[in-house]
Amino acid sequence: MAQGHPAPMVTVQLQLDYYMSAQFAGVALACELGLYEDRGLAVSVLPDCPPGEEPQHVLKAQADDAASLCVGSIEQNVLVPYVSAHGTDHVVACGAMFGRSPLCIAALPGVSIETAGKTTLVIGAHEDTVQLLQHLAPAAKVVCVPREDKLKMLKDRKIDAVQIYDCTESITLSEALGEEGALQAVPFEELSRSAELGYAQVLFTTAASLAPGDPRRDAMHRFMQATFEGWRRAIADPEAAAAAVLARQPAQIDHFLSTREFVLESVRRSCAYVKRTSAGADRLGVIDPQAWASANAWLGGALTAATHPTGPLLDSTLWAADSLLMLGTPLASKLLREAKRAAAEALDRHCRRPTLCVVTVGEEPLGATHDDARRRLELIGVPGASWFDKSASARAIGIEVEELHVPTSTSTAQLCSLLRDVCERVDGVQLMWPLPRHIDAAECYAEIPLALDVDGAHWLAQRVAGGGERAATRELTNAPVTAAAVLRLLDEHGEGETLAGKRVLIVGRSRLCGAPLAFMFGARGALVTAAHSQATSAQLREACLQADILVACVGKPGLIQADWISPGAVVVNVGTTFDGERLLPDIPSELGELRHCKRVASCPNGVGPLSVAVLLEQTAQSALGRAPKPIGAEPTTPALSEAALGAWVAAHAPWELRSSSLLNPCVDSPVRVLSRSFHFASYPSAVRFVAEVSSASEAANHHPNLSVVHSCSRGVDVLVELFTYATKGLTAFDTAAAEAIAALCEARSAAAAH
């Protein structure tokens, strides 16, 4: 077309899979701001259609107007059965607005849905979701309910639970309940250990529209640009997005309210799902091909006869991540799925969920109590998958988190006492760094047993003390989480297996990242240089130019300049600085300046999403690796006969049978016990023995009564009395415990003799 004459507008017909509401806030804001028109697109929204019929309506609209571009939105779990029935050659997915399905089942107070998959509830669902929900909750009775009637049916208790969207209807129901009680909601994916529902609000068009050379392909790319620019602005300014939604949201729909407060909360929840599709600083809506295929495989097995086993087609080139980037979100999702499976196995083994305790002293550590936490979570992080939202992130995969926040004034002794108490009841402990200056960090971290050190505080010291067996460090068990995340990201992108002989520069020597990273790279045969804060710019530039792999973990924006990086280098950014609106890396923030690199991991969506995933995976593995607690004595446990008792005592002197007045209201005193006194020269020796007895007793699930008598210069006596409370007598549990305690004492004596 001649210069000065604009190209004609392309008509875009958009078939949404739900009412125009907050879950399409990016579309609404793009319309409000003229983002589609700026890209030569005239977008109109087609009338609502029955759930699951979006592909048919898009195909019909396209057939009726061949020159237009027809686009639909649909959930991946609905698209899979459609493709199974109609074939893969009609519609093609290009991107997705939600990185995870917001489908939940909800129930009013008094109805238990935590075990919905195993109980006979009556659950209402849309026609296109009945089969999926029945598969996830096989014991329930899943019935088809009209979309417009379902909430009323739930409130009238005609059904026990109902399918809802977390970002809209859950808010409606919560407000309707008011003071009556909290709404219960469980995501579909938490009903099954292996469920993968994939993406939601998937954007698709006809296969013909995406043919090479067809002008509609370019129009689809422009549509994606405008839509996700709308979402980017919605994330930054949810109030503007809420206003755009309110101007377009239909009235008299009981799924949502037409109030500013309601829509604003709904927009914020929707934005959280959109951020799961981030593929770097400037791109949302990207579908990861591996995640797409994995969800297709699970959904195909759950919902179809697998007539078309490949599932719906995805054009992964039209709207893709920059090939230069090493993205952390896909790997984080994979690690969280693995952690979910391990947590479920641990639940089966121990009859309780794995538990992580996060202890934060003051507000300086970069966690939930930090001043920037809320804003960082709102703009960048994903609720339920973020370092700043560990409780929700853990709960989503079957792990409990106990968050303890103590004041800055806490003393070393107080913190040590708290940690000792915590370690008795959890599977992992994270003591957030940094600690206040007046606290003895070494003494406090020493209170965390190695088996519970899921944050890797002891990892480096253990490897150094291990005699230099550096090859063993390829096993990253309970390693510092951010350092481990760097290695896992490199491994995932094929850069971690060829480290031998590579020149690696680590800028920053922190105890939680830089120092352990140097050790990890060295263990794989790399030639490692660690740069510190005293290095001059000239020295740092020279070191950078020599590096095959550069890892920046300082937290100083733009510290590393683009011309300092050698062509073909792999660059990983760890250090970040939040300026209130953006997350700034230590390396150049503009990807265009790094085109001479081989691969780059920057922020957001580089190493960041992996840290919480590694922490939770290590917690789940810690719980799974613990020996199951044996079943202790029960009322039916047989008592030892007099003859057996007499023979045992005769063979195990100085144990003896004696009467004791046990201070327990459940036992009539005095009772007969196995008794023995152990003598120690000092009080500390006696206390260490008591600690060993306590650990052994806990492992055996049979506990003695202990009393300590300190006789000053004559030493200390520890009196041990054994008795089975469950039977109110003596059993084989008591004699086994007595032999184990005696062995502990003999081992201590033998060690002292040497």
Specify whether 353 is located in the same domain as 499: yes
Show Cβ contacts of residue 318 under 8 Å, excluding neighbours closer than 6 positions: 94, 95, 210, 217, 220, 221, 224
Specify whether 356 is located in the same domain as 489: yes
Q: Which of 134, 158, 191 is the last residue of a domain?
A: 191
Residue 723 lies in a domain: yes
Task: Return the CATH number at 148.
Answer: 3.40.190.10
Question: Which tokens is 211 given?
Answer: 């043919």
Residue 2 lies in a domain: no
Specify whether 610 is located in the same domain as 672: no
Specify whether 549 is located in the same domain as 466: yes
Specify whether 130 is located in the same domain as 207: no
Give the residue among 502, 583, 1, 512 at the shortest CA–CA distance from 236: 583
Are 366 and 643 in contact by the 8 Å Cβ rule? The answer is no
Task: Return the CATH number at 354.
Answer: 3.40.50.720
Specify whether 573 is located in the same domain as 493: yes
Residue 402 lies in a domain: yes
Are 107 and 151 in contact by the 8 Å Cβ rule? The answer is no
Residue 636 lies in a domain: no
Task: Return the CATH number at 669.
Answer: 3.30.1360.20
Q: What is the pLDDT of residues 34-51, one digit of tens each?
A: 999 999 999 999 999 988
Q: Which of 138, 157, 191 is the last residue of a domain?
A: 191
Show Cβ contacts of residue 144 under 8 Å, excluding neighbours closer than 6 positions: 124, 125, 126, 127, 130
> By three-state DSSP, how is residue 130 classified?
helix
- The C-alpha atoms of residue 565 and residue 10 are separated, in whole angstroms, by 44
Are 24 and 210 in contact by the 8 Å Cβ rule? The answer is no
Q: What angle do CA 54, 58, 64 make, to 5 degrees?
A: 145
Looking at the DSSP bridge assignments, the partners of residue 95 are: 203
Residue 124 lies in a domain: yes
- Please give the pLDDT value at position 308: 47
- Residue 732's CB is within 10 A of a number of other CB atoms, namely 15
Name the stretches of the chain with pLDDT < 50.
1-5, 307-308, 470-474
Specify whether 300 is located in the same domain as 329: no
Give the residue among 293, 358, 289 at the shortest CA–CA distance from 319: 289
Domain that holds residue 277: 10-99+198-314
Domains identified in the chain, total number: 4
Beta strands 161-165 and 103-107 are antiparallel
Specify whether 165 is located in the same domain as 209: no
Residue 635 lies in a domain: no
* Residue 549 CA to its chain's centroid (Å): 28
Residue 633 lies in a domain: no
- Please give the pLDDT value at position 424: 85
Specify whether 187 is located in the same domain as 263: no
Specify whether 483 is located in the same domain as 556: yes
Give the residue among 24, 31, 67, 81 at the shortest CA–CA distance from 48: 24
- Please give the pLDDT value at position 668: 59
- Please give the pLDDT value at position 567: 97
- Please give the pLDDT value at position 307: 47
Q: Which of 295, 314, 333 is the last residue of a domain?
A: 314
Specify whether 479 is located in the same domain as 565: yes
Residue 504 lies in a domain: yes
> By three-state DSSP, how is residue 607 classified?
coil
Specify whether 182 is located in the same domain as 275: no
- The C-alpha atoms of residue 410 and residue 663 are separated, in whole angstroms, by 35
Beta strands 570-573 and 161-165 are unpaired
Looking at the DSSP bridge assignments, the partners of residue 572 are: 551, 601
Residue 361 per-residue DSSP state: E
